[in-house]
């Protein structure tokens, strides 16, 4: 699986930890920044990851900032993105099963590295169920248009 990852300075450490962990599991992770832990603006990295997902350069996106909220809000401005900020494994799984989320957002100041791995695992291991959820996804995506 090809995953585009991005963070701002507040999510840098967790992003690096998750990239190492995901690579160890055999996933291909493309780090779209920030490359250093110096102060930066999260929308820049949210857009880069979102465009990689929309353009098909990545199967999924992973965005990390202090809370995950700013990344989620920024990513969801890009047409075709369904980004979800979560802080537990149940919600991560549900957002794939029911909402077909294509970007996962996590807050480094909210969850630790161990829980972040559980969240990412739950998200990656779940497949969109379609069916009764598709009408809702269609309505959500129609809002963009």
pLDDT of 57-106, one tens digit each?
999 999 999 999 999 999 999 999 999 999 999 999 999 999 999 999 99
The stretch 34-38 carries a mean pLDDT of 95
Q: Where are the alpha helices (DSSP H) in 81-112?
A: 89-97
Segment 111-128, tens digit of pLDDT: 999 999 999 999 999 999
Q: What is the pLDDT of residue 72?
A: 98
Q: How far apart (Å, rounded) are the C-alpha atoms in residues 58 and 51?
A: 9
pTM of the model: 0.96
Q: What are the C-alpha distances in Å from 121 to residues 2, 34, 40?
A: 14, 23, 28
Catalytic residues: 65, 98
Q: How far apart (Å, rounded) are the C-alpha atoms in residues 137 and 110?
A: 28
Domain range 2-144, its CATH number among 3.90.550.10, 3.40.1400.10, 3.20.20.105, 3.90.420.10? 3.40.1400.10
Q: Is residue 144 scored above 90 in pLDDT?
A: no
């Amino acid at each position: 699986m090809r995953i585009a990852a991005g963070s701002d300075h507040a999510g840098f450490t967790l992003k690096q930890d998750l990239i190492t962990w995901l690579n160890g599991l055999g996933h291909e992770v493309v780090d779209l920044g920030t490359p250093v832990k110096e102060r930066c603006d999260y929308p820049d990295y949210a857009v880069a990851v979102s465009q990689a997902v929309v353009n098909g350069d990545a199967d999924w996106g992973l965005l990390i900032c202090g809370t995950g909220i700013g990344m989620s809000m920024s990513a969801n401005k890009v047409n075709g993105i369904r980004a979800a900020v979560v802080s537990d494994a149940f919600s991560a799984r549900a957002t794939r099963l029911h909402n077909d989320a294509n970007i996962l957002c996590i807050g480094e100041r909210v969850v630790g590295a161990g829980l972040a791995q559980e969240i990412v695992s739950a998200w990656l291991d779940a497949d969109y169920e379609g069916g009764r959820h598709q009408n809702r996804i269609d309505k959500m995506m129609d809002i963009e248009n």
